[in-house]
């Protein structure tokens, strides 16, 4: 075994994957733990769409990663040292694959992927692929340590930006450039609030961040239940990019933790990044308090009337705000008649006046709802056809039932 082609030092990762490819006679790619391409074998004709797109973009396409998670492929790779055989998946342009994780003490450092369309790899070849993974361990460990040091330095820089320690645009640009971070495009702060965030769910969330492709993740850091992320748009439509990122993240982390994402304004004046942070924090906080009403809100302006809840609370005037007399009359009527007029009004307003949707939520006939709404107007004196009154009532109901 001393003459085995893997039992020697390799100057580069490219030299290593070429040696594996030549020995096993299959195309080979080497990725880090977040599916960024580190090296690929250069001399082989056999390929497929997924490999071509990975090489071009220097990372595995997100739809491929998502499919691997849904099929249980990545969890298997992360939990075992033996290679995993993957059948073709035509919908994502993937031919037959064999993959093996590169692990150290349970921590995944990366993956080796080979295309095996002609089923060349027998039991002996699979064992040699596993041997190749063990030989790549030291080189990837060194890369991983370099990456961790770089990320730690970037996190410290990020905190300087968030706290306003570096206050002027020029000073911030200088710091970013010293950290090799591009300053020619706008940046924004996203805040992810995750109730019950622990080490495992944070690792999964970090993985989702590192593998997203809707925006560029410049740097991220954690503070208790909050994860702060500095993002850069992929296109000139920064709002669309950011909204796609937030929605994709929500979908990928669904079931892990309750995740509430807020995104601040994009800015080319980096002295405004603390303001972007404040917006993102407010959005994430409001979404956590009103998850149903604000499920599709990502930006501060999308909070609508809920922006004024935040303003009222910050002003300190909320305790002195008098209850709407119309709601007081409905509460009294409900107490005296064991009815649900206030609940009916709340649901009707939440459904934006849709009789069908409100009746479905209240489990009553539309005729019953029509009668209740007429009684609500008689009891309270409000006009539900007046848009100004309806908007004010919606705000007052939320203040009464969910804020005070």
Name the pTM for this structure: 0.73
Question: CATH number of the domain that 365 lies in?
Answer: 1.10.10.2840
pLDDT of residue 206: 87
**Same-domain check for residues 33 and 116:** yes
pLDDT of residue 3: 65
The domain boundary, picked from 147, 177, 204, lies at: 147
The domain boundary, picked from 118, 147, 176, lies at: 147
In a domain, 202, yes or no: yes
List pLDDT tens digits, range 291-327: 988 999 999 999 988 888 878 777 877 777 788 889 9
Burial 83-116 (b: 16+ CB within 10 A, else e): bbebeebeebbbbbbbbbbbbeeeebbbbbbbbb
In a domain, 198, yes or no: yes
**Same-domain check for residues 180 and 309:** yes
| Cβ count near 182 (within 10 Å) | 11
In a domain, 8, yes or no: no
The domain boundary, picked from 117, 147, 177, lies at: 147
In a domain, 156, yes or no: no
**Same-domain check for residues 228 and 297:** yes
**Same-domain check for residues 311 and 335:** no
**Same-domain check for residues 34 and 100:** yes
CA angle, 23 as apex, 19 and 24 as ends, to 5°?
A: 120
pLDDT of residue 404: 58
Query: How many angstroms separate the Cα of 360 from the Cα of each of 51, 345, 348, 368?
Result: 49, 14, 11, 12
List pLDDT tens digits, range 211-232: 888 999 988 888 888 999 999 9
In a domain, 33, yes or no: yes
**Same-domain check for residues 311 and 169:** yes
The residue ranges of the chain whose pLDDT is under 70 are 1-3, 43-44, 403-404
Q: What one-character DSSP code corresponds to residue 271?
A: G
**Same-domain check for residues 172 and 306:** yes
Residue 94 CB partners (closer than 8 Å, separation 6+): 48, 49, 50, 64, 67, 86, 88
- As for how many domains the chain has, the answer is 3
List pLDDT tens digits, range 74-117: 989 998 999 999 999 999 999 999 999 999 888 889 999 999 88
**Same-domain check for residues 377 and 309:** no
Ramachandran angles phi, psi of 6, nearest 5°:
-85, -15
Range of the domain at 134: 13-147
Segment (H or E) for 298: none
In a domain, 292, yes or no: yes
| Cβ count near 79 (within 10 Å) | 11
**Same-domain check for residues 311 and 351:** no
pLDDT of residue 104: 87
Question: CATH number of the domain that 249 lies in?
Answer: 3.30.70.100
Return d(Cα 212, Cα 208) in angstroms, integer.
Answer: 6
**Same-domain check for residues 135 and 176:** no
In a domain, 158, yes or no: no
In a domain, 155, yes or no: no
pLDDT of residue 117: 83
Question: CATH number of the domain that 61 lies in?
Answer: 3.30.450.40
**Same-domain check for residues 306 and 331:** no
Q: Return the beta strands (E) in 117-266 as ranges.
A: 188-195, 215-223, 226-233, 258-263
**Same-domain check for residues 139 and 171:** no
Find the radius of gyration of the CA atoms of the chain.
28
């Amino acid at each position: 075994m001393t003459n085995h082609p893997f039992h020697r030092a390799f100057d580069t990762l490219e030299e290593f994957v070429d040696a594996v490819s030549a020995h096993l006679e299959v195309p080979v790619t080497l990725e880090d733990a977040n599916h960024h391409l580190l090296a690929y074998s250069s001399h082989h004709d056999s390929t497929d769409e997924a490999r071509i797109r990975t090489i071009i973009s220097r990372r595995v396409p997100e739809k491929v990663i998502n499919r691997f998670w849904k099929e249980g492929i990545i969890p298997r790779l992360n939990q075992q040292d033996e290679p995993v055989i993957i059948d073709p998946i035509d919908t994502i342009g993937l031919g037959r694959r064999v993959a093996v994780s590169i692990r150290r003490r349970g921590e995944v450092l990366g993956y080796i992927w080979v295309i095996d369309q002609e089923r060349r790899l027998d039991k002996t070849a699979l064992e040699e692929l596993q041997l190749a993974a063990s030989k790549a361990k030291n080189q990837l460990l060194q890369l991983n340590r370099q990456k961790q040091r770089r990320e730690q330095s970037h996190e410290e820089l990020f905190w300087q930006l968030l706290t306003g320690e570096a206050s002027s645009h020029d000073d911030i640009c200088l710091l970013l450039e010293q950290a090799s971070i591009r300053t020619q495009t706008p940046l924004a702060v996203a805040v992810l609030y995750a109730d019950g965030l622990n080490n495992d769910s944070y690792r999964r969330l970090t993985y989702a961040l590192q593998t997203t492709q809707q925006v560029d993740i410049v740097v991220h850091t954690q503070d208790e239940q909050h994860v702060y992320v500095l993002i850069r748009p992929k296109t000139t439509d920064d709002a669309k990019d950011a909204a796609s990122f937030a929605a994709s993240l929500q979908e990928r982390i669904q079931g892990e933790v309750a995740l509430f994402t807020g995104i601040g304004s994009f800015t080319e004046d980096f002295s405004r990044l603390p303001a972007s942070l404040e917006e993102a924090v407010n959005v994430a906080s409001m979404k956590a308090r009103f998850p149903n009403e604000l499920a599709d809100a990502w930006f501060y302006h999308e909070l609508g009337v809920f922006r004024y809840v935040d303003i009222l609370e910050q002003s300190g005037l909320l305790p002195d705000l008098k209850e709407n007399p119309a709601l007081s009359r409905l509460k009294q009527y409900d107490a005296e008649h064991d009815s649900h007029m206030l609940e009916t009004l709340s649901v009707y307003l939440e459904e934006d006046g849709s009789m069908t949707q409100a009746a479905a939520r209240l489990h009553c006939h539309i005729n019953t709802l029509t009668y209740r709404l007429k009684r609500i107007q008689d009891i309270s004196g409000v006009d539900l056809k007046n848009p100004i009154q309806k908007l004010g009532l919606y705000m007052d109901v939320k203040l009464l039932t969910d804020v005070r």
